[in-house]
Structure 1
Amino acid sequence: MYDRILVPTDGSECADRAVDHAIDIASQYGAELRVLSVIDARDMSHSAPAISIEQVEKALRERAESVIGDVADRAEEAGVSVITAVEPGIPDDVVVEYANEHDCDLIVMGTHGRTGLERYLLGSVTERTVRRADVPVLTVRQTD
């Protein structure tokens, strides 16, 4: 039923719970796990004047690579084939485009990530992904 499962992650606790579910499902179906972290383009526009956009992007990329590296290690320990990616852009746009471009059968994501009040008021990445994705989206709450 599932050959490629996409799990977007920002390293938050909720995303981490989604990763657990994605690894379990991938293991059960013998599916490939695709781990994606999006460098939110909006985060780079809020940098302090003393910090260059390049420095901000480098720091965000290093953090994203660390997060997906940890997930990849967990997936490999569970015997799951894993491919990782870090992409810049608007998170829900990137998630939906990535799922389409890589023929993902399922998206597994947390209901809440590392977001502040501004993003809460603008709407959740997960909500927008659910509305726009062409494949099923399994949402995982931070707690049961």
Structure 2
Amino acid sequence: MYDAILVPTDGSEGVDRTLEHAITMAQHHDATIHALYVVDRRFELAADEDREDLVAQLTERGESAVADIAETAGAAGVDVVTSVREGIPYKTILSYAEDADIDVIAMGTHGRTGRDRLAHLGSVTDRVVENATVPVFVINIGDGD
């Protein structure tokens, strides 16, 4: 039923709870986990002289975040594909899901930003749920980091 499970990550600790569920689903369905970090295009608001450094820092954070998922899932015997992309997070998640023929998206209720914690679902999760063409498995990650 599920051959490809997308786990978007922002590098926060809440992703650990999401990953636990995704690994269990992957093990039961012999599926591959796709770990995706989106370098948010808000970096475009940075001053020109700061933009390159900011993108490099965010990309490095993303590489680390998807590597953590790959290590954890790999140790559990699950195949993993990692990707770091630039874009608007929810749009990039949806685009990746379509491009990679994802069967289900596993996400936490909110991410790292304080603004996201104000709502029941983080704004990215909410937009993915509203617009996804595949099932979205939303995991309550509590109060966050």
Name the amino acid aligned to 2:4: R
**Which of 64, 69, 77 is the equivalent residue of 1:79?**
77
Native 8 Å contact 1:14 1:140 kept in 2: no
Name the amino acid aligned to 2:130: R
Alignment length (residue pairs): 141
Q: How far apart are 1:16 and its partner, in Å?
A: 2.1
Distance 1:119 1:77, change over 3 A: closer
In structure 2, distance between residues paired with 1:60 and 1:51: 16
Native 8 Å contact 2:63 2:84 kept in 1: yes
In structure 1, distance between residues paired with 2:123 and 2:28: 29
Name the amino acid aligned to 1:39: V
Native 8 Å contact 1:35 1:85 kept in 2: yes
Native 8 Å contact 1:23 1:75 kept in 2: yes
State whether structure 2 residue 58 is matched by structure 1 residue 60.
yes
In structure 1, distance between residues paired with 2:69 and 2:14: 13
- Range that drifts further, 12-21 or 49-58: 49-58
Name the amino acid aligned to 2:59: R
In structure 2, distance between residues paired with 1:95 and 1:118: 17
Name the amino acid aligned to 1:57: V
What percent identity do the matched residue pairs reach? 47
Query: What stretches of structure 1 move > 6 A for 4+ residues in a row?
Result: none
TM-score scaled by structure 2? 0.89
1:60-116 per-residue CA deviation (whole Å, 9 max, x = no partner) reads 000110011011001110000100000000000000010011100000001110113
Distance 1:73 1:125, change over 3 A: same
Q: Which residue of 2 aligns with 1:92?
A: 90
Q: Which residue of 1 aligns with 2:135?
A: 136
Name the amino acid aligned to 1:13: E
Show structure 1 runs of 5+ residues with no match. none
Q: How far apart are 1:143 and its partner, in Å?
A: 3.1
Q: How far apart are 1:14 and its partner, in Å?
A: 2.1
Q: Which residue of 1 aligns with 2:28?
A: 28
TM-score scaled by structure 1? 0.90
Q: Which residue of 1 aligns with 2:10?
A: 10
CA-atom RMSD, angstroms? 2.1
Q: How far apart are 1:12 and its partner, in Å?
A: 1.4
Show structure 2 runs of 5+ residues with no match. none
